[in-house]
């Protein structure tokens, strides 16, 4: 099922919310590709994009937190590092599967290797982080609407 952004997930910054929507969108692309045999080969690329954009987004979010003197900055930054590390480990697994002969030539083998559990796991990490930690910035970012539209 696709992930949909909802207003309860707002951080108080339109820019950061846009990032979250885009990350959800990449997950939805991966899920769609998984259910379509001729699209499965694109999954490693989508996952690579997910890693790159997550990295970029985390840096942006941390910069915002530094600018507002966010009290939870260090804890939040450490959680970002843990999350990114886990996603990179998953990405390494995906690249290994895709690099095998079976992975390249047989979409069904590739699909089985990707396993929906992997996707669900990664997705729950991101959604959980946005819902539990990023929304904690809302009261602070609301105080700086002009700085962080």
Q: Return the number of the residue (29 or 130) whose C-beta is nearest Fe ion.
A: 130
Residues 25-64 that bind Fe ion (CB under 5 A): 61
Q: What is the pattern of x (binds Fe ion, CB under 5 A) and - over residues 60-99?
A: -x--------------------------------------
Residues 106-125 that bind Fe ion (CB under 5 A): none
Of the listed pieces 47-55, 82-90, 108-116, 132-140, which binds Fe ion according to CB under 5 A? 132-140
Q: Does 24 bind Fe ion (CB under 5 A)?
A: no
Q: Does 3 bind Fe ion (CB under 5 A)?
A: no
Instruction: Write the CA distances from 111 to 2, 29, 76, 100, 107, integer angstroms.
Output: 18, 14, 34, 13, 6
Beta strands in 5-49 (DSSP E): none
Each as own residue / partner, the long-range contacts of residues 53-59 (CB below 8 Å, 24 or more positions apart, any chain) are 53/19, 53/22, 53/23, 53/26, 54/23, 54/83, 54/84, 54/87, 54/126, 55/84, 57/16, 57/19, 57/20, 57/23, 58/83, 58/84
User: How many residues make contact with Fe ion (CB under 5 A)?
Assistant: 2
3-state secondary structure of 2: coil
Q: Which of 30, 70, 123, 134 binds Fe ion (CB under 5 A)?
A: 134
Q: Return the number of the residue (15 or 116) whose C-beta is nearest Fe ion.
A: 15
Using left for φ > 0, alpha for ψ between -120 and 50, and beta otherwise, residue 100 falls in: beta
Distance of closest approach, residue 94 Cβ to Fe ion, in angstroms: 22
**Binding footprint of Fe ion on the chain (CB under 5 A):** 61, 134
């Amino acid at each position: 099922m696709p992930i949909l952004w909802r207003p309860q997930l707002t951080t108080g910054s339109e820019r950061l919310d846009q990032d979250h929507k885009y990350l959800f969108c990449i997950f939805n692309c991966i899920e769609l590709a998984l259910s379509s045999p001729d699209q499965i080969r694109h999954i490693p690329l989508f996952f690579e994009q997910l890693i790159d954009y997550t990295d970029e987004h985390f840096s942006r979010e941390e910069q915002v937190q530094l600018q507002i003197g966010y009290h939870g900055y260090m804890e939040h930054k450490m959680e970002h590092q843990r999350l990114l590390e886990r996603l990179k480990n998953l990405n390494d697994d995906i690249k290994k599967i895709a690099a095998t002969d079976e992975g390249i030539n047989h979409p069904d083998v590739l699909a089985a290797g990707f396993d929906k559990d992997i996707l669900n796991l990664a997705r729950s990490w991101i959604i959980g982080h946005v819902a539990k930690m990023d929304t904690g910035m809302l009261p602070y970012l609301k105080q700086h609407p002009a700085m962080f539209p």
